[in-house]
Amino acid sequence: MSRETAGRGRRLGLTGALLLAILSLALALRLKGIDWGLPYSFVNADESTVVPKAFAAARGHLNPQFFFYPSLYFYLMGGLYLLAAPVWWLLGNGNFLAQTSFVVDAGPYFLLGRLLSVAMGTASVYLVYRLGRDAFGRPAGLLAALFLAVAPLHVAYSHMAVTDVTAVAFSLLALALLQRAAGRAPESGGDGDGDWLDRVAASLAAERRAARWLVLGALAAGLATSTKYNLGMLVLPATVAAVFACRPEAARRVVAGGRAVLVWLRLLVLRLYLPMGVAFVVASPFVLLDAPHFLKDFRRQSQIMDRGWLGFEHVGNGFWYNVTPNLTGAIGVALVVLGVAGLGWAFWRRTRPDLMIAPYVVVYFVYIGTWKELADRYLLVIAPLVILLGVRLCVDVVGLAGSRVRRVALPAVVVVLVVAFVFPLAASVAFDRDLSGADTRELAKEWIERNVPAGSLIAVENYGPPLVREDQLPHFREAGLDPVAYRLVRLKLPVPGTPERTRDLARLREQGVEYVVTSSRVRDRVMAAAADYPGLADFYRQLDQRGELVKEFRPGPGERGPVLELYRITGLP
């Protein structure tokens, strides 16, 4: 074995060991506390929307009749439930796909969804390594994987049975495949060495490989879009990759007499836009099969993005808000600074990966910055790319510096990277540590069941206690259980620009409602923008003035959750 071969083997062995350590760290951070709050969706309220849709899909109801999200994530989770069903039965736990099983104990269903996010979150760490390695070299790939492994927002959402982290994984897969297509496409004209026929054969083989990678990347981009609609913007880096991948073939076809516009249109449609569109529709078929419902929900979702949501009424400049607190909270201040500098460096270098990634990051950031709904999770899509561009800059600074400058640059870069690693890691560990102890919603549920008569009519806000409904009792009794149950009125989250009818004290009393449970996660946001929600703000004031505060639930030491208030509204003036 030559020294060169042995050295390459040692480097690959070291890379494999480092990557394994990074993936192990990522997995550990994402698994810690994964079962906290079960069987309830205390980690993220959206789980209580997603998981029932996935369960319905597993039972054969493939039309979700809900299009605020695309459908692929529902089907992936539904597939997990189908795989789990025979195991569940063999363990003597009955029919996993029976409605009674889901109603009586939804914990295993939430847990499987969360484990899917754990797997996709860890896969994202690997995929950003592959993208970074192919685009900018092995050191950049390893560093990007390390920082994504500890990124607080990515760690947090990897604990949740929601769409976001799975969408990130599909988007990184798409970019990795598209980078291969762009990076392996031959330059027009060949390198001029060797036999002419050999050069032509090699060029044609490279074109075919690039075409295959391009189609695969387009399919992955379609699946990403079928997980979150905003990932349709992957069409931008995909088009850049297609230009590089198809350029030699397009040039050859034009020389053979084809019209350039038609040649390019045909190649882009067949290799990129059509596969991406087909993958999206196949993974979310009811966007076509139930088009009226899809258009209605999609339009409503777009209106929410344009008008904002509770808590975002007065944030000011959306672009700055997405930098701080959102992006700095997602990956840390140091990496945000490095990422911005890395973007500038990418536009200066303008390599193929730079032209794919940097404009996409900027356009996506500008696009979501125009929204009024400024949730931090929308930045999860570009957070790995900001990290990658930042660490690539660090690697280039060390690699391009002369030997004298490198002696100063290397320690400085190491210090910056250590700082960029330590603070996000500490934040992720703190998040995991907080996934313990009792939640006020569970404590409120237990107190209400002991002190409020069964069958009472109770109005409950989102983020309230998970009380058992009377119409669920047959399922519990089928399982041999007889819990305390209530008649419930759901007070829906207020929608901007939509008249509020459910939160009306006189109307609730006319309906026979006896108790109202409010949650600080709704109330505080309404009162912070009382001028935007005058009817809702007045409802809370009337509750304080005319209702009887029966019990308040505040998180104590070692506890977490919102502040809940239970009011009695019957028998009062």
Residue 7 has pLDDT above 70, yes or no: no
Q: Would you say residue 544 has pLDDT above 80?
A: yes
Sign of torsion, CA 279 285 289 292?
negative
Give the model's pLDDT for residue 196. 65
How far, rounded to the nearest angstrom, does the alpha carbon of residue 113 sit from its chain's CA centroid? 13
- The closest of 538, 521, 541, 537 to 529, measured between CA atoms, is 537
Kindly write down the DSSP assignment for every residue of 106-118, as one continuous string: -HHHHHHHHHHHH
What is the tens place of the pLDDT at every residue in 23-38?
A: 999 999 999 999 999 9
Does residue 340 surpass a pLDDT of 80?
yes
Task: Return d(Cα 332, Cα 152) in angstroms, integer.
Answer: 8
> Is it the case that residue 386 has pLDDT exceeding 60?
yes
Of residues 6 and 367, which shows the higher confidence score? 367
Angle (deg, nearest 10), helices 164-184 and 196-225: 170
User: Looking at this protein, which amino acid is placed at residue 87?
Assistant: V
Q: What is the DSSP letter of 300?
A: H
Q: What pLDDT was estimated at residue 257?
A: 83
Q: Check residues 11 and 532 and name the one with the higher pLDDT.
A: 532
Percent of the chain at pLDDT above 70? 92
**Can you tell me the mean pLDDT for 491-511?**
79
Phi first, then psi: what are they for 220, rounded to 5°?
A: -65, -40
Q: How far apart are CA 65 and CA 399, in angstroms?
A: 54
Please give the average per-residue pLDDT across 94-100, as a whole number: 94
The lowest-confidence range among 6-10, 54-58, 239-243, 327-331 is 6-10
pLDDT (mean) for 42-63: 94
Q: What is the pLDDT of residue 276?
A: 97
Q: Within 10 A of 482 (CB to CB), how many other CB atoms are there?
A: 10
In this prediction, residue 214 has a pLDDT band, given cuts at 50, 70 and 90, of: very high
Q: Is the pLDDT of residue 192 over 60?
A: no
**Cβ pair 73, 227 in contact under 8 A:** yes
The mean pLDDT of 536-542, rounded to a whole number, is 90
Over residues 329-342, the mean pLDDT reads 96
Cα–chain center distance at 540:
33
Mean pLDDT throughout 514-533? 90
Position 191 scores a pLDDT of: 47
Residue range 560-573: mean pLDDT, rounded: 86
What is the rounded distance in angstroms from the CA atom of residue 146 to the CA atom of residue 337? 17
CA-closest candidate to residue 237, choices 339, 358, 381: 358
Model confidence at 190: pLDDT above 60: no
pLDDT for residue 571: 67
Query: Side by side, which strands form the sheet with 468-469?
Result: 468-469, 485-491, 457-461, 515-519, 564-568, 548-553
Report whether 442 contacts 562 (CB < 8 A): no
Please tell me the predicted confidence (pLDDT) of residue 189: 47
Average pLDDT over residues 320-326: 91
274-321 residue pLDDT tens: 999 999 999 999 999 999 999 999 988 888 887 777 778 778 788 999
Residue 516 has pLDDT above 60, yes or no: yes
Per the document, the length of the chain is: 573
pLDDT number for residue 10: 65
Residue with more model confidence, 343 or 5: 343
Inform me whether the pLDDT recorded for 200 exceeds 80.
Answer: no
Lowest mean pLDDT among 121-135, 164-178, 464-478, 490-504: 490-504
Phi, psi of 529 (to 5 degrees): -130, 50
> pLDDT over 90 for what percent of the chain?
70
Which of the residue ranges 8-12, 63-67, 475-479 would you say has the lowest mean pLDDT? 8-12
pTM for the whole structure: 0.93
Reported as a single tens digit per residue, the pLDDT across 398-437 is: 887 666 777 778 888 999 999 999 999 999 999 999 998 8
User: Would you state the pLDDT for residue 456?
Assistant: 94
pLDDT at 329: 94
